[in-house]
Amino acid sequence: MSLKIGDIAPDFKAETTEGPIDFYQWLGNNWAILYSHPGDYTPICTTELGRTAQLSNEFARRNTRILAISVDGIESHRGWVNDINETQHTRVDFPIIADPDKTISRSYQMIHDNASSSATVRSVYFIGPDKKIKAAITYPASTGRNFTEILRVLDSLQLTDRYSVGTPVDWEVGQDVVISTSVSNDEIPSKFPKGHREVNSYLRYTPQPDK
């Protein structure tokens, strides 16, 4: 069973391809995405890590740090990074945690004991500056992660963290959002000066506040 939304993300110290890190200190006041891989030199994960590197500027623009983890050792990771850079035509510039004793993977409940005693579940954790889990997505080994969706979720999380809104089905940046039911109609003009559209008492749309 994975960590739940709202849980505190476990702190840890780790050896990574970018040197040793203390997670909370490394995170600072940033957002983070921590995602796991079942092992090094795996084809789907190679494409994912490459895509993450290609999107480095997008994550930086969102004040988000990336951290990957695999249960293999640091020397294996370094060799894998060379392969990723070569085959994906990029440069991996974020840390990959070496977790051979699976301590960190287990603290994040990433080990799927029913399937394997060693392979990490392919989870993506979205972690806020308050060190809490904001969202989690888990993929099977055969399905590559959708980074368009990961960025969309991150945009939604950051927007709804700042404003009393939610993002409706298939929402994309720039589209209308839904006003939280905790906001009364009397409060709307001061909170959402761009105006609003009321479908019924609980479904009220407003333009994205920060656009």
pLDDT digits (tens, 9 = 90+) for 24-35: 999 999 999 999
pLDDT value for 116: 54
Contact 127, 37 (CB under 8 A): no
Q: What is the pTM of this model?
A: 0.93
Which two tokens mark 187? 């409060």
Catalytic, 18? Answer no
- Encode pLDDT of 189-208 as tens digits: 999 999 999 999 999 999 99
Percent of the chain's residues with pLDDT above 70: 94
pLDDT value for 37: 86
- Encode pLDDT of 64-115 as tens digits: 999 999 999 999 999 999 999 999 999 999 999 999 998 998 899 887 665 5
- Encode pLDDT of 148-180 as tens digits: 999 999 999 999 999 999 999 999 999 999 999
SS3 call for 147 = helix
Dist. CA 145–CA 138, nearest whole Å? 9
Dist. CA 61–CA 158, nearest whole Å? 12
Dist. CA 126–CA 43, nearest whole Å? 24
The residue whose two tokens read 């085959």 is 87
99 vs 71, 72, 165, 200, CA distance in Å?
A: 4, 6, 38, 51
76 — phi, psi (to 5°)? -65, -40
Dist. CA 110–CA 124, nearest whole Å? 10
- Please name every residue paired with 21 in a beta bridge, in sequence order, or none if there are none: 14
Question: pLDDT-derived band of residue 140, with 50, 70 and 90 as boundaries?
Answer: confident
Is pLDDT at 117 greater than 80 in this prediction? no
**Identity of the residue numbered 206:** T
Dist. CA 45–CA 139, nearest whole Å? 11
Q: Which residues contact 38 (CB under 8 A, 6 or more apart)?
A: 45, 70, 71, 116, 119, 120, 122, 141
pLDDT value for 115: 53
Q: Which domains does the chain have, with CATH numbers?
A: 13-144 (3.40.30.10), 163-206 (no CATH)
The active-site residue, picked from 9, 32, 45, 119, is: 45
Burial class (CB in 10 A: 0-12, 13-18, 19+), 22: exposed
